[in-house]
A and B are shown apart, each in its own frame.
Chain A
Amino acid sequence: MNSSGGAGGGDLNGWILAVNLIIWTGIFLYLLHLNRKLRDLEKDQ
């Protein structure tokens, strides 16, 4: 798979990049919340 030589992009790439970062941060925060909740439950048990 050869490259075209530049990262290139434009407005559309900027939007997709932002949406990707938001989705990943959202998933990460949910997993972190789950982790904390589980730790509390494990302590209680």
Chain B
Amino acid sequence: MESLKKILPWLLWLWLALVILGAFLYAPAAVGFKGSSRILFFHVPMAWVSFLAFLTAGVQSLRYLYAGRERRLDRSAAAAVELGLAFGVLATVTGALWAKVMWGAYWNWDPRQTSILVALLFYAAYLALRAAVEDGETRARLASVYAVLGLVVAPFLYFVMPRMAEFTLHPEPVINAAAKVDMDGKMVQVLMASLAGFTALFYWMHNLSCRIQDVADRKTRSQR
């Protein structure tokens, strides 16, 4: 078990290194995207991980509210939101770089750009709420209710709102309106591998973040 724990991070390094090599050397460039399509292999997984992080925060907050008010669950939710924001900002930046190449401007108020911006502001407000309340228990309770609300807000902003718009410059999502994947087979392979790798990376980073906070919490308690 201990040796597996040591090997797993290296497997993740190898996996994502192969994804990077695959994105540039194996997958073909998409027609009409001026070679910028390779950003897809990083932009989509980052957006996916930010959604997954916000979902994790909501689930951990729900567990906090209904399963004994354990502080570690609240800390886990906060760590997930912080990581979700980081990955969300990276998805927005990579999207803006791609937009500059394809649309001629970094920001176009496209429905997808707008909805991810609103999602980021929603979760930035979660951190602001945490920072504004001093009492630990009240902070955890209020933040948990807010993050549970996010279980409705995040899917709406990521999946429903962009599809409600009548016009968008954004390319079709990976699974299109006809519920099919209209993409070259090699591109799908690299994209799926990237999604799996980024998901594993998120859970590793989340685990580290939770452990840092646990260590800090134990230290504070022992000093009292």
Is B224's beta carbon under 8 Å from chain A? Answer: no
In the complex, what's the smallest C-beta–C-beta distance from B57 to chain A, in angstroms?
21
B37 and A7 contact, CB distance less than 8 A: no
Question: On chain B, which size bracket covers the interface?
Answer: 35 or more
In the complex, what's the smallest C-beta–C-beta distance from B47 to chain A, in angstroms?
16
How long is the Cα–Cα vector from A13 to B27 in the complex, in angstroms? 13
Contact flags (1/0) for A1-30 with B, using CB distance below 8 Å? Answer: 111111111000100110011001100100
Question: On chain A, which size bracket covers the interface?
Answer: 20 to 34
Is B103's beta carbon under 8 Å from chain A? Answer: no
Give every chain B residue within 8 A of A35 (Cβ-Cβ).
9, 208
Choose, from B18-26, B48-56, B116-124, the stretch at the interface: B18-26
Which among B12, B28, B183, B211 is the interface contact of A7 at CB below 8 angstroms?
B28
Give every chain B residue within 8 A of A8 (Cβ-Cβ).
28-29, 35
Is B184's beta carbon under 8 Å from chain A? Answer: yes
Is B169's beta carbon under 8 Å from chain A? Answer: no
Which among A7, A25, A32 is the interface contact of B25 at CB below 8 angstroms?
A7
Given A1-B187, A24-B17; A42-B215 close (CB under 8 Å): yes
Give every chain A residue within 8 A of B215 (Cβ-Cβ).
38, 41-42, 45
Contact flags (1/0) for B194-224 with A, using CB distance below 8 Å? Answer: 0000000000110010011001001100100
Given A2-B184, A3-B184, A24-B20; A34-B28 close (CB under 8 Å): no
In the complex, what's the smallest C-beta–C-beta distance from A43 to chain B, in angstroms?
11
A38 and B212 contact, CB distance less than 8 A: yes
Is B182's beta carbon under 8 Å from chain A? Answer: yes
How long is the Cα–Cα vector from A34 to B184 in the complex, in angstroms? 39
B171 and A1 contact, CB distance less than 8 A: yes
**Chain B residue nearest to A23 in the complex (CB):** B20
Contact flags (1/0) for B1-34 with A, using CB distance below 8 Å? Answer: 0000000010011001100110011111111010
Q: Which 7 A-B pairs have the closest CB atoms?
A: A3-B28, A3-B184, A17-B24, A1-B30, A28-B13, A1-B183, A20-B20
27 A-B contacts, Cβ less than 8 Å apart?
Answer: A1-B33, A1-B37, A1-B40, A1-B171, A1-B182, A2-B30, A2-B182, A3-B28, A3-B31, A4-B28, A4-B29, A7-B25, A9-B35, A17-B20, A17-B25, A24-B16, A24-B17, A28-B9, A28-B13, A31-B205, A34-B208, A35-B9, A38-B208, A38-B212, A38-B215, A42-B215, A45-B215
